[in-house]
Structure 1
Amino acid sequence: MSKLPLIRPVSDEDIKAALFDIGDDKAPGPYGFSSCFFKKSWSITGPDVCAAVKEFFVSGKILKQLNHAVLVMVPKSASASRVEDFRPIACCNVIYKVISKIIATRLSPILEDLIDPAQLAFVPNRSMDENIYELQELLRNYSWSRISPRCIMKIDLRKACDMVNWDFLRDVLSGLGFPGLFVEWIMQCISTTTFSISINGALHGFFKGQQGLRQGDPLSPFLFVICLEYLSRKLGNLRSNPDFNFHPKCSAVNLTHLAFADDLILFARGSHRNPQVAERKSAQAESCDGLIFDCLKNFGECSGLCISPNKSNLFMAGISREEAEEIKTITGFSLGRFPFCYLGIPVAAPRLSIEQFSSLISKIAEYINAWAGATLSCAGRCELIRSVLQGVECFWLSILPIPVGVRNKTTSLCRNFLWGGNAMVLKKPLVAWKDIRCPKSEGGLGFIDLHAWNLALLSKSLWNLQSKKDSVDFQTIRKLVLIRNEIFTLEGSTQTALERVHQWAATGRFNTRACYEFFRPKGPKITWAKLAWHHSLMPKHSFILWLGLKDKLLTREKLINQIDGCSCPLCGAPIESLNHLFFHRSEVRQVWTDIKKWLGFTRALTAIRAAAKWITKKRLEVQAYRLLQRRLGLPALFIVFGKQEMQGSLRAKSCIQLVLSEISRFKYTPFMHLFLTSESYEWGCILEY
């Protein structure tokens, strides 16, 4: 390990980069100054910030006030009632965070070579989905009645981050070869901390920390991984122990455990020939806890990271009842049941059923129920579906092939929310979901097609795994994905499928969007997409225009089977159609006459699609006209629609004035400098008036 990059002098650029990498919305420390404050005032505060940070790296000492943190108790569940039900999150001062981030930035790049491949959390170029795939593969045959002995231990570490022994951490850092100065920087950061507790917004107490790593400190995740490396290496030493027997399928890759932060899974054979059962005589009987359990006990005694037996579970197959009871006695763990949750994903021995995806469905329904009381437009609901609900689904889609029944259920929840504002209230949709999930360029709302996105994300996972040939579980995972991923069914052969995947990763990074485009159903392009979704329009206005262009607005003509008569209640015309509402009424024609005069064209507008097509193709010479054409011409469509409903009892002249007044609110002042001639300027003044 090279010492120079870790202990090189800290520059002003390093400090500024660390500060500006802190999110503006991150909680400020005890003194209330957020990172946003320092960013906005960098020209003033920058020199002092740099001087304070450099002082630490030169002297090796940190001011007590800078390393003071506020502990905020975040409930782990809605029914939290005990101290154990709360998670302490430390709100550190920004200056301390800058120091911590500089150390963390230097530490992170070397972890990939330093940390055991079985550890994936917070290590560059490693992903949690590798652990999930590996565990799923090892569980595949656990439901068989006749199978070789095997045992999996799901370990829960008691108050993981809060229990780390500082002396142990110092010894591990030194033992791994970190420079002494770098170790002292780290120990100064974690061992000089003081705390106050925030209760109902008020600070209480002032006390010094004695152990543990602060959740909220940028350095803590990397230090926790380094602590677990001690356990990884002790478990790794078992591979050369002749008394240790690997879990089936694990010997080829020397796999004894999987770790993602404090989520720890251990693997063993679990037969009477295995010391885990401790069915031994004489000297061997002294290790009655078993080799793996001895490693765990030793690790807990050294590090402070002890096991919670009540929250740890055993999963066994091919083992007699007597042997299973003996293993339970040795470990103190209870027997677990499938499926169980690992890294937020349910895993089971047999293939997951639709019922076992209930946590995903419940999560989506929970979000929708929380929004049900809010007054949201359809455009607002669209954004929530796109950014939140489909974001929740994406994590699952990237890990598991989602069954059709689950996709249909989540789609149903989203559809009900879009059109009815509630997950459980079924309201007839104005537009079919197969059209909604199309891109905006094809007349949809840009929602993802779940099946195609599922295939695209699984293909990305395949490429990520097969490109890392030194991965601990590469051989097993490649076999799993090659057999099960539907991409191979579509392409017809493994070789062709891999060639296709490499095309999507020609630049060295996998192009998920190109893969998604390959799988998703295609539709014809439409000409009015950019017009309807122009950034100058409010989203709710764009949504109304989109419905109008798709001829899905609920005019009386559309509701003829549900109401008595379809005549226009405003003017008495025989049919209240979409084009009548927007273009044919005398009052509306007067509005459009003035608008066309403002915009400088004379073409007759009689149908919404024809008007949109013509406006899209029209090329005006003056840039201001082009901008205002979208900014004024399109808002007129929905303003006319809304005002007619509200002003039905008013005189036509009054309605016209209200509409024109509303349209004039769409200010064009930012574009005034674009008017080139005095005539254009006068035209602009008329609009402003």
Structure 2
Amino acid sequence: MDAEKSFFQQKTKCELLIEGDKCSKFFHNLMKKKTASNGIPFFVTDQGNLTQSLEDIVKEFIHYFTQLFGCTVPIQQLDWSVFFEGPCLATMDATHLTKEVEIQEVREALYSIGNNKSPGPNGYTAAFFKEIWNIAGQTLFEAVSEFFRSGKLLKQFNHVIVVLIPKVKDNPGVKDFRPIACSNVVYKIIAKILSNRTSSVLPGLINHSQAAFVKGRNMVDNIQLAQHNVRDDIMMFSRGDHNSVQVLVDDLKHFSVVSGLHVNAQKSNLVNFPQGRLPVKYLGLPLTSQRATNTNFVPLVDIVDANIRRWNTKTLSLAGRSELIRIVIQGIEGFWLQAFPIHKSVLNRIIFLCRSFLWGNKVYKVAWDDICKPKDEGGLGIRNSFVWNQALLTKNLWNIASNKETLWVQWVHAVYLQGGSVWTWIPKKGDSHLFKKLAKVRDKFLHNIGDAYDDMEETMSNLWEEDGGNTAKLYDILRVHGVKQPWMKIIWQSYIPPRYTVTAWMALRKRLPTKVNLSFVDMDRKCSL
């Protein structure tokens, strides 16, 4: 049974139910859906014709990706003097990047790779190498260190399996498939080591206008800034006049000539680019010139609904369903909650979907507020979305107070605070909805911790030093605390299967459909035995 579970877990890439369910039927059903979605039964040619012939599909894809990956594009010689005009690596950082790799570095890189990540052409996953580390660890280390010594990579290590993922649902063409490369583990280890080394030096080299993909920065900062810039009609890449647009186009052409990367300008309306209208999606979130409405959050509700529809409640226990809500659904929520004060009606809709999924569209046996309590207070540890939204927004207050070096924080200080403190700032009538909401969250936070405004910088500084800016601590401060339940420590044990733990949890809450608990129903209460 364990071997079967492991097999289906690898095939479905489902790692989230390790602590929730151990049923292979769920994985089997999920694998069937995944297999069906991964197939390419048809595609639309450039001429607009629908093709279902397997032979034509293969030829078209091979032709397109051979041109994409297999052709050399002439590029101009780089002007290296330009690079020395910007920030440069310190000698110590350069030494760190080029130092010899150590066996512990290889081991840490290996163990940071997920066990069920898709394998490369040799078919071995990271889990295999972790299991045999004591036997083959030294050999693996020598293979990796050889690359760092010689600068050459064995051709077999560099082979990949290219998987095509459709980017659109309806009538996809060849260009609408995203190629994903599945690499061998040795290649992944080398890439991890290079990534870990460069991540420590990138913050000093890349301008703070770049908010994402740099350690210690958050793309939500730019999303929040973009919301205000669009509202003030100043989010421009150029002035919009003919000369400015021409400069923008010339820059893109120059970048293409130097890098060999070309801009995709299909379905053009204006200067060979599509003409867009607000609201649009920016970094995965809605960007609008007005205050966000329920319509702007429809994509969030749709994503949650689509994920829930993928999971069959009949093949999952209550424990498994609660884990999916806690990890997957609330993980999706978190990205949106840290950027916007989400409307109450939107969060209520998401809660309705989660609650219906948790109870299998049957009678709700435990109140949602009780479910959202921590386990030691008698709940299932699922977060209250309203409080979680406030906690994630509160973290922005600390970023502003500490004058974090991001473009958004600098803009807030220049436009709103103007030398004042975020802890005493009073919103005005014309201020944005986000900042008015931040002020309300701030006041609630101050009330809960009970400190004077004058001591806030020191208080928040101590809080962040102790907890590393952990939003879980902020959530704990903002939520309503309940009574500790001593019996919870007994049932929530790692050696007890989760589905049995949840059954015991239901029993202790007197929510199992026993005759005693169904006393309000007209039935014989005598024990059947």
> Is residue 87 of structure 2 the alignment partner of residue 128 of structure 1?
no
Percent identity over the alignment is 37
> For residues 320 and 104 of structure 2, what CA distance do their matches in structure 1 show?
41
Equivalent of residue 530 in structure 1, options 489, 514, 524 = 489
**Residue type matched to 1:455 in 2?**
Q
**1:189-236 Cα shifts (integer Å, max 9, x gaps):** xxxxxxxxxxxxxxxxxxxxxxxxxxxxxxxxxxxxxxxxxxxxxxxx
> Is residue 364 of structure 2 the alignment partner of residue 417 of structure 1?
no
Report the CA distance shift for 1:371/1:62 in structure 2 as closer, same or farther (over 3 A). closer
1:110-121 alignment runs, 5 A limit: 110-121=201-212
| CA apart distance, 1:409 | 0.9
| CA apart distance, 1:311 | 7.0
SS at match of 1:89: strand
Q: What's 1:567 paired with? A: 524
| CA apart distance, 1:348 | 0.9
Gaps of 5+ in 2: 1-88, 417-431
> Is residue 182 of structure 2 the alignment partner of residue 94 of structure 1?
no
Contact 1:68 1:93 in 2 (8 A): yes
Q: What's 1:382 paired with? A: 322
SS at match of 1:359: helix
1:278-427 alignment runs, 5 A limit: 278=242, 287=243, 289-310=245-266, 329=270, 331-372=271-312, 374-419=314-359, 421-422=360-361, 427=362
1:24-63 alignment runs, 5 A limit: 24-63=115-154
SS at match of 1:548: helix
Q: What's 1:104 paired with? A: 195
SS at match of 1:106: helix
| CA apart distance, 1:59 | 3.0
Contact 2:372 2:382 in 1 (8 A): yes
Report the CA distance shift for 1:389/1:56 in structure 2 as closer, same or farther (over 3 A). closer
Report the CA distance shift for 1:16/1:384 in structure 2 as closer, same or farther (over 3 A). closer
| CA apart distance, 1:545 | 2.7
Q: What's 1:277 paired with? A: 241
1:355-504 alignment runs, 5 A limit: 355-372=295-312, 374-419=314-359, 421-422=360-361, 427-477=362-412, 479=416, 483-485=436-438, 486-490=440-444, 491=446, 501-504=460-463
Report the CA distance shift for 1:353/1:305 in structure 2 as closer, same or farther (over 3 A). same
Contact 2:161 2:182 in 1 (8 A): yes
| CA apart distance, 1:304 | 2.8
Q: What's 2:8 paired with? A: none
| CA apart distance, 1:495 | 5.7
> Is residue 8 of structure 2 the alignment partner of residue 8 of structure 1?
no
Report the CA distance shift for 1:307/1:444 in structure 2 as closer, same or farther (over 3 A). same
Tell me how many residue pairs correspond in the alignment: 414
> For residues 387 and 365 of structure 2, what CA distance do their matches in structure 1 show?
24
CA RMSD, Structure 1 to Structure 2 (Å): 2.9
Q: What's 2:164 paired with? A: 73
**Residue type matched to 2:508 in 1?**
L
Report the CA distance shift for 1:501/1:293 in structure 2 as closer, same or farther (over 3 A). farther
Contact 1:300 1:306 in 2 (8 A): yes
Contact 2:200 2:215 in 1 (8 A): yes
Contact 2:165 2:179 in 1 (8 A): yes
**1:305-354 Cα shifts (integer Å, max 9, x gaps):** 33333478xxxxxxxxxxxxxxx75x344442222111221121111111
**Residue type matched to 1:107 in 2?**
T
**Residue type matched to 2:201 in 1?**
I
Report the CA distance shift for 1:359/1:7 in structure 2 as closer, same or farther (over 3 A). same
**Residue type matched to 1:539 in 2?**
P
> For residues 469 and 505 of structure 1, what CA distance do their matches in structure 2 show?
13
> For residues 364 and 373 of structure 1, what CA distance do their matches in structure 2 show?
15
Q: What's 1:593 paired with? A: none
| CA apart distance, 1:557 | 5.6
Report the CA distance shift for 1:505/1:311 in structure 2 as closer, same or farther (over 3 A). farther
| CA apart distance, 1:397 | 1.3
Report the CA distance shift for 1:67/1:396 in structure 2 as closer, same or farther (over 3 A). same
| CA apart distance, 1:465 | 5.0
Contact 2:229 2:235 in 1 (8 A): no
Greater C-alpha Rg: 1
Contact 2:401 2:457 in 1 (8 A): no
Report the CA distance shift for 1:137/1:61 in structure 2 as closer, same or farther (over 3 A). same
Q: What's 1:517 paired with? A: 476
Contact 1:121 1:128 in 2 (8 A): yes
**Residue type matched to 2:262 in 1?**
C
395-404 or 525-534: which moved more? Answer: 525-534
Report the CA distance shift for 1:402/1:289 in structure 2 as closer, same or farther (over 3 A). closer
| CA apart distance, 1:405 | 0.7
Gaps of 5+ in 1: 143-149, 153-265, 271-275, 279-286, 313-327, 574-584, 586-647, 653-689
| CA apart distance, 1:22 | 2.9
> For residues 405 and 496 of structure 1, what CA distance do their matches in structure 2 show?
36
Higher relative contact order (CA 8 A, sep 6+): 2
> For residues 472 and 247 of structure 2, what CA distance do their matches in structure 1 show?
48
Contact 1:488 1:497 in 2 (8 A): no
Report the CA distance shift for 1:551/1:374 in structure 2 as closer, same or farther (over 3 A). closer
SS at match of 2:201: helix
Q: What's 1:544 paired with? A: 503
83-92 or 479-488: which moved more? Answer: 479-488
| CA apart distance, 1:407 | 1.2
Contact 1:141 1:350 in 2 (8 A): no
TM-score (norm 2): 0.71
SS at match of 2:286: strand
| CA apart distance, 1:500 | 5.4
SS at match of 1:524: coil
| CA apart distance, 1:558 | 5.1
| CA apart distance, 1:77 | 3.9
| CA apart distance, 1:556 | 4.3
